Each structure stands twice: as structure tokens, then as C-alpha cells.
Amino acid sequence: MSSTGAPSSQPVGPLSRVCLGFLGYLEVEKGYSPATVSAYAADLQQFAGFLLRRGKSLDDFEAIARDDATGFLAELHRTRQKKSSMARKLSTLRSFFRYLIRNRMLTQSPLAGLRNPKQESRQPRALNVDQATALMDTPAKAGPEGIRDLALAELLYGSGLRVSEALSLTIDDVRADRGFVRVRGKGGKERLAPLSEAARLRLSEYLDERGGLSRDAADQTLFLGVRGGPLTRREAQRIVSRLAEQAGVGQSVHPHTLRHSFASHLLQAGADLRSVQEMLGHSRLSTTERYTHLDLRRIMEVYDKAHPYSEKPAASTENGGGGAGRAGDDPTGKYETDTAAKGKEKA
């Protein structure tokens, strides 16, 4: 095993013509980004290396069996790969074998019926409104870099952009005067993301100062680094972390934290799920639903305001009162929640 924890593999050389054709199909017909295509290529290389150690080849499609796929997953598990990473690699292989079947190079996928590893139920942490406001109100450093940093943060939080989407923006994509930016999301899909008033002002200010960072007048990339080239993901991460530290936010903050906070705050304020889905650029509603988790206090507040029994004393069983709010219906006493107790106190 390598020092990184990934399975060791023998050199497998360049991918076959069929694999390259599959990767070209992803890029041209499916519209996947270069980064996504590179990830698919790396997954195929890793599986090819695993097959090589078994005396097989990724080019010999018919010889690949179900136990090769399960063995590959078992090796990933032994080397402590994350379940999300395992699921992604399995998705790559599924797509590859579907491509072979579609092009009549294979009749049946060896992965048929194979399920993804059960994922850990993890939710990204969101900032509360006060923390987000403090981060956005952090005083800017002197010069165009400081203005750029706050403009980037405003876009990530105010418009809910992925960091990759923000860093791929060009000057022409920004319509600050009209209140939106044109975003190229996953799969090459375009959408219009609304700009908050703060983001509009920050971007306008940054565009006035952007020339102080530019080294090439022909480069239309919106966010530039200190050397004049496009701002990198690592630099964006450092910017967000530094702003959070200056604002006194007591937790680790990543660019995606701001996107998650954007979605969470909209939903908590009453925005409908479909609208948030559109703004985030999610193709499936189930992806947006990950952002709908609210803390228990918020749930109890909604219950107190909406449920007919929430603010009323528990009905006595002697009076024959009915309904879901009766403490007498629960001889164990477990039904009596904090909300019911609070209702008694107010009564």
C-alpha cells in the first residue's frame, strides 16, 4: 500500500482506445468538466491496476466478473477508503460498462445488482446568521486583493455558488447592474444566479480594482491571484479561512460552508425547496433535501406555533378528552416532551 493509504498498483500504462473513447464521450456528449473526466480516468486506472494483479485486463471485457468488482471494493475497504470515494469509483465503473453495452461491446454488466456501500449520514455544518454576517463584514485588506476576497465570499454565501463555479466566472458573466451572474455548473449546465445587494456592490468595486492584479489584458477570468493568473481552489480556501478567523467564527470554515449556509438560511426563512434547488443548480431535488436539516430548537419553535395542542394543557383522561396531546395516553411518561412541559408551565 502506498503512503497515502490508496491501494498499491502495478503500472498499467496508458488507457486503451475504448477507455479513451468513453472519456471522450463523457466530455463531449455528457458535458462533464475536465476535472470530472480526470477523476473518471483515475478510477479506471486504479481498477485496471487491480485487475492486472489478478491476471486480468480492463480491455478484456468479457473476462471481468462480479467477484472482480466486489474484490475491488473489498480492497478499497481494507485500505480505509471513504465510503463516498468507494461509491464514486463504483459509479465510474457502472458508467463505463453501460457505455460498453450501449455500443454493443458487452452484453451484460458485471456490476448488475451490486449496491453502493452504505453512506455515513453526515451533514455539512452551516454558519448561523450572526456568524455569516460577521464574516461578510470583515474589514477588507488594503488593495485589490482585499476587495477580491470579500467579493468572492459574498458570491459564495450571497448566491450559493460552488467554489469551482465562482473561480470559473469571467468578467462577461457578471451582470452586476442587472443583479445576476451567469454560472456554468456541473455537466456544463448554465444557470442565472441572483446577486444580493452586498454582492453586487462588492463585485462592482472589485471590477474597478481588478486591473491591479491583472498581468494579461486578454485574460477575462474574474478572480485573479497575486501573480495575475486565475485564483486557485487552494487560494480560495485560504481566503475563506482567513476571513472566518478574523471574524471570530469559532469553527472551521470552507468555501462549501458558505454555500451550505446560503441554502440553510433560505430554507429557514421560508423559501420553497424547488426555488432553492434552482438557485443551487441541483439536478435532483433529493440533493437539495440534504440542506433541509434544522436544529431541534427550530423544529420545536415551528411545532409550538403550528400544532393545535402545543400551547394547551394536557387533557385529563377523566374528562374523556381526545387527541394526540394527552399525557394520559402514555402510561410510560415518555411521550411528555419538552414542548408539552413548556405548555403546562404557560398554562
Q: Known catalytic residues?
A: 162, 186, 256, 259, 282, 291
Residue whose C-alpha cell is 455537466: 187
Classified as helix, coil or strand, 180 is strand
Angle, CA 41 vertex, CA 38 and CA 47 arms, to 5°: 145
Report which residue type is found at 50: F
For residue 180, what are the β-bridge partners? Answer: 175, 194
Distance, C-alpha 153 to centroid of its chain: 16
Residue whose C-alpha cell is 446577486: 195
Beta strands 180-184; 190-194: pairing state: antiparallel
CB 181 within 8 A of CB 175: yes
CB 112 within 8 A of CB 137: no
Which positions ≥6 away from 137 have C-beta within 8 Å? 247
CA distances, 21 to each of 96, 242, 299, 314 (Å): 10, 43, 51, 68
Q: Which three cell numbers stand for residue 131?
A: 456568524
